[in-house]
Amino acid sequence: MADFFTDLVPQFQEFVAGLPEWLQPAGVALAGAVPFVEGEGAAVVGVLGGIPTPLVVVAAILGNVLAVTLVVLVSAGTRKAVVAAARRGDAPPAPPSARREKFDRAFARYGVAGVCLLGPLLIPTHFTAAALTASGVSRARVLAWQAVAITLWTTGFALVITGVIRFAG
């Protein structure tokens, strides 16, 4: 399974390279929507593929933000249903998992902004967004901070890769 995730960026590089030039930014956006690739990996794919860096950044951010928005909307709906079931007494409370407890500690320590901005170091933004929404944080707040984090991380990766290519070339 680890090989699958390790191979995602090279697989997307091949996929995007095989697209007509005018469609390559859409391939970058698609890569940005995938957990573990995200905007950062999509930026690497696009820049290494020779797509102009500003276009790569916009496409990768859009793909990642659209996917995270979908996750937040689904998570919010799921939370609403679970809370309603718990109020009716239809659902017994579930004991928190070790991962959930770890998330709760990070959330208590760093808040929404910190978890969103630091989260990509540990887990995909999709999972962070779902956990925050499931915790009851408003959709708007989660999406705003995720958009900031995705923009910063994606832009940073794109600029670093662009700099490395220019320095090495």
Q: pLDDT per residue over 19-38, tens digit each?
A: 999 999 999 999 999 999 99
Q: What is the pLDDT of residues 34-72, one digit of tens each?
A: 999 999 999 999 999 999 999 999 999 999 999 999 999
147, 99, 150: which is closest to 120 by C-alpha?
150
**Number of alpha carbons in the 13 Å side-chain half-sphere of residue 19:** 21
* CB contact set of 137 (below 8 Å; sequence gap of 6+): 112
- Model pTM above 0.95: no
